[in-house]
Amino acid sequence: MESDSGNCCANLRNGEVCCQKTKVSKEIVPKVFPDKIYKSVQVKGVDVTGMTCECGVFGAIACGDYPTQLDIAQMICLGLVALQHRGQESAGIVTSLGKCSKNFSVHKGMGMINNLFNDEAIRKLKGNLGIGHTRYSTAAASEVVNCQPFVVHTAHGALAIAHNGELVNCESLRREVLERGVGLSTHSDSELIAQSLCCAPEDVSEHDGPNWPARIRHFMTLAPLSYSLVVMHKDKIYAVRDSYGNRPLCLGKIVPVDAGHANIDDQVAEGWVVSSESCGFLSIGARYVREVEPGEIIELSRNGYRTVDIVERPDYKRMAFCIFEYVYFARSDSMFEGQMVYSARLQCGRQLARESPLDADLVSSVPESGTAAAHGYARESGMPFGEVLCKNRYVGRTFIQPSNRLRQLGVAKKFGALAQNVEGKRIVLVDDSIVRGNTIGPIIKLLRDAGASEVHIRIASPPLQYPCYMGINIPTREELIANKLNADQLADHVGADSLAYLSVEGLVKAVQMNKSHVNPLKAGYCTACLTGEYPGGLPEELSW
């Protein structure tokens, strides 16, 4: 853990070199990805394939006169708690008083939000605006050196950046930054973004000070995806989403405590927030306004917010919002595309029942991410829903434990069977996805040991077959069970009476069912982990 005032970097005219350091060995190990070789690095003796992380970003700024009466640091902390499901390895908050561009207050470190930010830490984070980050990464990159937000010092003052995603073309961007004489001290995409923004584009005049929107736009033209960013400089926050809209980002309005459910447009803005998901807005007295549009750069200040630029993607390219946000990652009370994630998952269950009907006694779920889809399956099929598994809420999600061995060991202590609901029953068990296939077999055995006569598995998403290079930890094709066994083979392997997946077409249809608008020009999903069709192509080979 570290806590400082942000004075950790040397000031340089064209950029800066952070004092944060990492040890990367000279050994470069090739890894076979589809149709090409993608290189990985050895970090302290552990193999890392790029920066595969699923993170959450949050920013808040007060309106009106400063100092504000809002506790910005506490708001950001609570916002990050609501995003804890997106990353549980490290977190950080950076705040600014909005008056001086030289120093920020910084507190970040390894661990969960509630363990990192006690009353003393929050008191030290004085400010009228700030940004925060919660992170999940590969095991080897799980170090303090890679904790965000990154703070760098430029000739124009301190700059803080928090990033969700992964740069597909990090190699070319790295070369571009290094050729300008800027040193890089970590293998983090986020530091690369920070250093890129510190370099003014050659065609931009900055006689009156730095033009941050122009710098951000220049970066966006160099890096098409994948990222959602919050960038803070002195008294402003910039919310940035890549032009494909691959990673989520939304805007909220802080309203008076007694606002209730009144029309948001009629409420006075006490401040503004931006977040990877909207699920934490109500808990801090904010209301959801809208999503940051693909390619949009929004500037937040004490006077409100405004769109300062929009970077368009090529005409022949469609939006590529990560469909796995609907399937697994997002919290069910978050809003995407004008609909609640819960309703999309409910529709996935309905569509699954249409595609793979079954005669059974009871529909249930693997809690908790499979529950909404199970309710949808039950409603569409006309079968009753009932709980058959009791979850130990003090055990982490098995998808984000670092090794197969821990995943397998974690299953036995994660669930218990509700024997009276199970005995003698034919059960349809709905789950959101199967990744490595380690957890479902022990669950089926648990239900059979409790007396279930039949256990049929229904998966509310298509089989995962390809790795993700845009910020999700699905590292290699070899680890994905769907590349080894088809549905019937997998059913035999895990001990199920039958197993069926939702189709790709069915998934896309389900998530569009309740959308507030379906504009073909503003619609589209990244299904690369399901189909192998990557919106930005495969990542470049790394030379570092």
What is the distance between the alpha carbons of residues 382 and 358, in angstroms, rounded to a whole number?
Answer: 11
Residue 59: Cβ within 10 Å count: 31
Residue 257, burial from CB neighbour count under 10 angstroms (0-12, 13-18, 19+): exposed
β-pairing, 129-135 vs 525-526, is: unpaired
Q: Looking only at Cα atoms, what is the longest distance across the chain?
A: 78
Count how many residues are written for the chain. Answer: 544
Q: Is 53 annotated as a binding residue?
A: no
What is the distance between the alpha carbons of residues 85 and 73, in angstroms, rounded to a whole number?
Answer: 20
What is the distance between the alpha carbons of residues 105 and 116, in angstroms, rounded to a whole number?
Answer: 15
Q: Is 432 annotated as a binding residue?
A: yes
Q: CB under 8 Å to 151, separation ≥6 — which residues?
A: 6, 8, 9, 94, 104, 106, 158, 159, 160
What is the distance between the alpha carbons of residues 113 and 139, in angstroms, rounded to a whole number?
Answer: 18
**Under 8 Å between Cβ of 59 and 93:** no
The two tokens of residue 118 are 């006690």
Q: Is 196 annotated as a binding residue?
A: no
What are the catalytic residues?
55
Q: Is 468 annotated as a binding residue?
A: yes
Q: How many CA atoms lie within 13 A of 88 on its CB side?
A: 10
**Under 8 Å between Cβ of 107 and 92:** yes
Return the SS3 of 42. strand
The two tokens of residue 164 are 């969700």
What is the distance between the alpha carbons of residues 473 and 250, in angstroms, rounded to a whole number?
Answer: 23
DSSP string across 253-268: EE--GGGTT--GGGSP
φ and ψ at 40, to 5 degrees?
-120, 170
- In sequence order, the β-bridge partners of residue 455 are 427
The two tokens of residue 448 are 């059979």
The two tokens of residue 458 are 């229904």
Q: Is 453 annotated as a binding residue?
A: no
What is the distance between the alpha carbons of residues 277 and 336, in angstroms, rounded to a whole number?
Answer: 8
Q: Where are the alpha helices (DSSP H) in 382-495?
A: 404-414, 419-422, 440-449, 487-494
DSSP string across 67-102: SPSS-HHHHHHHHHHHTGGG--SEEEEEEE-SS-SS
Q: Is 322 annotated as a binding residue?
A: yes
φ and ψ at 432, to 5 degrees?
-75, -35
Q: Is 9 annotated as a binding residue?
A: no
Per the annotation, binding residues for [4Fe-4S] cluster are 322, 468, 526, 529
Per the annotation, binding residues for Mg(2+) are 369, 431-432
Per the annotation, binding residues are 322, 369, 431-432, 468, 526, 529
